[in-house]
């Protein structure tokens, strides 16, 4: 057995052990979906960032750094802006309200806040989450297959299936606590990898001066903040598309479940510091690694293979094994959280809350585990159909979820006039716009921008036209 494979197996064993330990506490619905609201700020922050980054960070963003250079730093700016606003201004009142309503899921919060006795928002939430999470998961399993293929020359399909098997084991038995603990461990690995690889890669190009000099001679457009299009309409739209994903941090359910799960509101401020610093280091490191990779590998068939190439060629077998584990950590830390989110939207929000409120805790947890398996297999099926460009596929799923939830969550907290009908109109408009725009005008502007604008407008207009405001204000 090679050293690299041994390191990967050791990494998998740690995840399995965490799942087994967490399973001893997983007997209730609140424990399975939000760790009984007991997370500290370190775990919450690392889990949030590991979930938010995914294989998109290690493979997608490094690939974008290879392709466009400095222009990709607009992605980092959008992330930092969105996270700062989310953790400092939105998370605290959101946490206060979810504790007040005893919410376990985002639809729990929305239904209580708007006194939605007909479960309209639960049904909308479930459709949005299941649709987009399936696409999101498919992208993560695609990343797993790419990682195994690039590092170990393992067949793409075999690699994807192996990754799914590991995620399924610890998520099914340990629930949200296993997910959060594994995210903490995997987030630390991602942090390590995106400090070490960029530094070594830049040194390999001849240092900072060597990197800048080489790019100036061969690809000067990669050193321009506005990219090759400059201050043109195309350049501005590209920048807006790169900054846009950051707005998704203002209400995406897979991230806001961490705010529900944190033990106390006061943990959110130190959590914000940890989360933002984590993003600056990891996303910045990913882009720099990609830029250095452009000098070392000027021609690539797949730009998202740059991180595995750097890891294999610049390091020995031990560190190479650690770095493949880093890539898998990025993928699995998102896949596990998405599975929990999707399962909660069906079992908790539909089965238990609408059809079987008398169902026992044991039965709900059992059904949750079964559905975790089913959803993972469905997403794996989509992943095996085609090897996609992870960067853009993840951003599409991110846009669909964020456009449906962000405007409604922010308005429900800060605008007392928002009504149930307005919330429903905003969610449907955001979701539909993201899909339609992607299909028709996605090449012009990132779909989240128009989807957020139209969703917010729909929520406000419908609420103002609604003569009988419903629900409780914050």
Residue 474 predicted with pLDDT over 50: no
Q: What is the predicted pLDDT for the residue at 1?
A: 55
Whole-angstrom CA distances from 300 to 67, 154, 295 are 10, 19, 11
Q: What is the predicted pLDDT for the residue at 42?
A: 83
- Mean pLDDT for the stretch of residues 410-426: 95
Q: What is the predicted pLDDT for the residue at 26?
A: 62
The set of residues, in sequence order, having a beta carbon less than 8 Å from that of 388 and lying 6+ positions away, is: 138, 139, 142
Q: For the chain, state the CA radius of gyration.
A: 21
CA–CA separation, 98 and 233 (whole Å): 42
Residue 397 predicted with pLDDT over 60: yes
Q: Which residue has the higher pLDDT, 390 or 88?
A: 88
For residue 462, being part of any structural domain is answered with: no
CA–CA separation, 466 and 258 (whole Å): 33
- Mean pLDDT for the stretch of residues 176-185: 77
For residue 87, being part of any structural domain is answered with: yes
What percent of the chain is predicted at pLDDT more than 90? 37
Residue 45 predicted with pLDDT over 60: yes
For residue 446, being part of any structural domain is answered with: no
Work out the widest C-alpha separation in the chain, in whole angstroms: 70
Q: What is the predicted pLDDT for the residue at 201?
A: 96
For residue 171, the cross-strand partners are none
Determine which of 43-47, 445-449, 455-459 has the lowest per-residue pLDDT on average. Answer: 43-47
Prediction pTM value: 0.82
Residue 473 predicted with pLDDT over 50: no
For residue 44, being part of any structural domain is answered with: yes
Query: In terms of residue numbers, what domain contains 27?
Result: 3-388
> To 5 degrees, how large is the angle CA 290–CA 295–CA 299?
85
Number of structural domains (the chain) is: 1
For residue 136, being part of any structural domain is answered with: yes
Can you give the CATH number for the domain in which 284 is found?
1.20.1730.10
Determine which of 206-215, 242-251, 299-308, 344-353 has the lowest per-residue pLDDT on average. Answer: 344-353
- Mean pLDDT for the stretch of residues 416-424: 95
pLDDT tens track for 223-233: 998 987 888 88
CA–CA separation, 201 and 333 (whole Å): 25
The encoded tokens of residue 92 equal: 């605290």
- 324 neighbors 147 (Cβ within 8 angstroms): yes
Residue 27 predicted with pLDDT over 50: yes
For residue 459, being part of any structural domain is answered with: no
Name the residue among 22, 28, 38, 86 with its Cα closest to residue 260. 38
For residue 424, being part of any structural domain is answered with: no
What percent of the chain is predicted at pLDDT more than 70? 93
For residue 254, being part of any structural domain is answered with: yes
3-class secondary structure per residue, the chain: CCHHHHHHHHHHHHHHHHHHHHHCCCCCHHHHHHHHHCECHHHHHHHHHHHHHHHHHHHHHHHHHHHHHHHHHHHHHHHHHHHHHHHHHHHHHHHHHHHHHCCCCHHHHHHHHCCCCCCHHHHHHHHHHHHHHHHHHHHHHHHHHHHHHHHHCCCHHHHHHHHHHHHHHHHHHHHHHHHHHHHHHHHHHHHHHHHHHHHHHHHHCCHHHHHHHHHHHHCHHHHCCCCCCCCCHHHHHHHHHHHHHHHHHHCCHHHHHHHHHECCHHHHHHHHHHHHHHHHHHHHHHHHHHHHHHHHCCCCCCHHHHHHHHHHHHCCHHHHHHHHHHHHHHHHHHHHHHHHHHHHHHHHHHHHHHHCCCCCHHHHHHHHHHHHHHHHHHHHHHHCCCCCCHHHHHHHHHHHHHHHHHHHHHHHHHCCCCCHHHHHHHHHHHHHHHHHHHHHHCCCCCCHHHHHHHHHHHHHHHHHHCCCCCCCCC
Name the residue among 292, 303, 314, 393 with its Cα closest to residue 59. 303
Q: What is the predicted pLDDT for the residue at 460?
A: 97
Q: What is the predicted pLDDT for the residue at 472?
A: 45
The set of residues, in sequence order, having a beta carbon less than 8 Å from that of 432 and lying 6+ positions away, is: none
Mean pLDDT of the chain: 85
Residue 123 predicted with pLDDT over 90: yes
Residue 390 predicted with pLDDT over 80: no
CA–CA separation, 178 and 123 (whole Å): 28
Q: What is the predicted pLDDT for the residue at 34?
A: 67
The set of residues, in sequence order, having a beta carbon less than 8 Å from that of 295 and lying 6+ positions away, is: 205, 210, 211, 214, 215, 218
């Amino acid at each position: 057995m090679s050293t690299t494979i041994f390191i990967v197996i050791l990494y998998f064993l740690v995840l399995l052990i965490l799942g087994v330990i967490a399973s001893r506490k997983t007997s209730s619905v609140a424990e399975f979906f939000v760790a009984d609201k007991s997370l500290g700020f370190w775990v919450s922050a690392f889990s949030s960032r590991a979930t938010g980054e995914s294989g998109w960070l290690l493979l997608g963003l490094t690939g974008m750094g290879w392709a466009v250079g400095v222009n990709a730093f607009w992605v980092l700016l959008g992330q930092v802006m969105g996270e700062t606003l989310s953790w400092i201004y939105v998370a605290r009142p959101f946490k206060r309200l979810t504790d007040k309503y005893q919410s376990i899921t985002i639809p729990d919060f929305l239904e209580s806040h708007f006194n939605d006795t007909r479960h309209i928002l639960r049904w909308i939430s479930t459709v949005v989450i299941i649709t987009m999470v399936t696409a999101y998961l498919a992208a993560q399993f695609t990343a797993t297959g790419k990682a195994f293929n690039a590092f170990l020359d393992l067949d793409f399909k075999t690699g994807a299936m192996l990754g799914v098997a590991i995620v399924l084991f610890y998520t099914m038995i340990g629930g949200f606590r296993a997910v959060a603990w594994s995210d903490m461990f995997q987030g630390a690995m991602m942090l390590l990898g995106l400090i070490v690889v960029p530094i070594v890669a830049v040194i390999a190009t001849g240092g900072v001066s060597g990197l800048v000099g080489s790019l100036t001679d061969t690809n000067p457009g990669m050193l321009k903040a506005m990219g090759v299009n400059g201050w043109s309409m195309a350049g501005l739209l590209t920048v807006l598309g790169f900054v846009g994903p950051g707005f998704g941090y203002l209400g995406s359910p897979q991230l806001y479940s961490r705010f529900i799960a944190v033990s106390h509101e006061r943990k959110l401020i130190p959590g914000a510091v940890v989360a933002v610093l984590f993003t600056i280091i990891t996303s910045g490191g990913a882009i720099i690694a990609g830029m250095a990779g452009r000098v070392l590998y000027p021609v690539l068939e797949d730009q998202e293979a740059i991180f595995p190439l750097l890891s294999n060629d610049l390091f020995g077998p031990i560190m190479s094994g650690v770095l493949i584990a880093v890539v898998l950590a990025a993928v699995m830390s998102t896949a596990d959280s998405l599975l929990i989110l999707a399962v909660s939207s069906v079992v908790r929000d539909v089965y238990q809350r609408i059809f079987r409120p008398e169902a026992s805790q044991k039965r709900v947890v059992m059904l949750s585990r079964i559905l975790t398996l089913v959803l993972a297999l469905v997403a794996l099926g989509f992943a095996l159909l085609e090897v996609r460009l992870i960067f853009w596929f993840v951003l599409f799923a991110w846009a669909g979820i964020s456009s449906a939830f962000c405007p409604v969550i922010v308005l429900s907290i800060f605008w007392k006039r928002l009504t149930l009908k307005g919330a429903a109109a905003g969610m449907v408009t955001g979701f539909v716009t993201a899909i339609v725009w992607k299909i028709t005008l996605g090449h012009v502007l990132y779909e989240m921008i128009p989807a957020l604008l139209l969703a917010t407008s729909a929520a406000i207009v419908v609420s103002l036209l609604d003569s009988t405001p419903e629900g409780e204000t914050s």
